[in-house]
Amino acid sequence: MEGSPIDVVVFAPLAPILGVLLFWFIQLLFIESEKYLLTKIRPKHEPLCRFTNFLGIFFQTICHALGFTITKSGISDFFISVNYGRVAPKKEKRGVFEWVANAFLFIGPFFIPAFLILICLFIGGVNLEIITPSQLLELKYTFGGQITAFGANLYAFSRSFFGFLFNIDLLHPGHFGFLLLLIFLGMGIRPSYIGEKKQEKVDMLYDLKNIWLLIKNKPLYLMLLFLVSYVFFYVSLYLEQNWYTALFSIFGWLSIISITSIIIANMLLLLIYKTDELSGVRRALPYIVMPLSYILARLVFFYFPIDYTNIVSLIVMVLSTVLITYLLLKSKTNKFKSGLGIKLFKKKGEDDEE
């Protein structure tokens, strides 16, 4: 163990916690960007927006129910709709049990749905690169050392996770189903509104306010949670097994999964938003080109094999979709300009005749 005693005893345990908070805050920002796109497409795609809201309500309600289950409060009533979700416990428990259940309600949706994706990755046999606690022993038990360990674990996971995504085979039912599950997570990680008349808007400030009230009402519980974390760090330090950083790295993985799913969902929402500017058959062309270009690329590479077939096919699909969308929007703009020019020319000609 190297470093000053104050650094090791006080600041080192904070490093992974601050790392998780940073990634969680980035996740909140991406959620806000998604909700902005949803507001843009809502006038023309109300059913899709209601579906994404239902997914958010569903994840939120499930997390609340899980909180009651873990605290052994039981569940007497479970209700969910497109606009609202409610869970009632069998036993009304106060104190720490109620606080834990509310923590699952307010914080759980940011991590628990992504945990299901992580389980699917392990069950599906995806080769995820993970740095074990014993491999982190060479790093110092200081603030800088723990930040380095946290970052190294996240980098190793991200490299293998993105490696799988970039080489995903959309013609494989399991891979295609996983992509759909990832999109569903991104679309519904948080609801946009609660209430039949959308009386309460769910945004970043709404989430932060609920979490602040959770902490403000019972600050002692948060202090106890920090105390347990510090004790766990000291035990890991004593046994020379960096279990502490490895545990918090899992929360970092979950944030990376959530952020990735939101980015993919945002790309689809942006495509919908841009194609809404088109009309008729032209609006459907990008959605036709997307699967068609991927299948054609796979057929070409089947007869003329190359390295990295899957990733090149994905690149062809994305570039083809972006290109056809850009050309359609540009032709629409040029058509508008040419039409305007004809009208101005006619008006000028009429004035000359007069």
Q: Which residue has the higher pLDDT, 127 or 140?
A: 127
The length of the chain is 354
Q: Are 84 and 196 in contact (CB under 8 A)?
A: yes
Whole-number Å distance between alpha carbons of 77 and 91: 11
Residues 6 or more apart whose CB falls under 8 angstroms from that of 197 comprise none
Instruction: Report residue 301 CA to chain centroid gap.
Output: 32
Report the amino acid identity of residue 100.
V
Cα distances from 257 to residues 35, 154, 176, 262, 272, in angstroms, run: 18, 11, 17, 9, 23
Q: At residue 156, does pLDDT exceed 70?
A: yes
**For the stretch 110-147, what's the b/e string if a residue is b when 16 or more beta carbons lie within 10 angstroms of its beta carbon?**
bbbbbbebbeebeeeebebeebebeebeebbbbbebbb
Spans of all domains in the chain: 5-275, 281-353
Residue 349 above 60 pLDDT? Answer: no
Are 12 and 233 a contacting pair, CB within 8 Å?
A: yes
The gap from C-alpha 76 to its chain's centroid, in whole angstroms, comes to 31
The per-residue pLDDT for range 56-66, each reduced to its tens digit, is 899 989 998 99
Rounded average pLDDT over 281-293: 93
Alpha-carbon Rg for the chain in angstroms: 26
Residues 6+ apart with CB under 8 A from 201: 192, 193
pTM of the model: 0.87
Mean pLDDT of the 300-316 span: 91
Residue type, 319: L
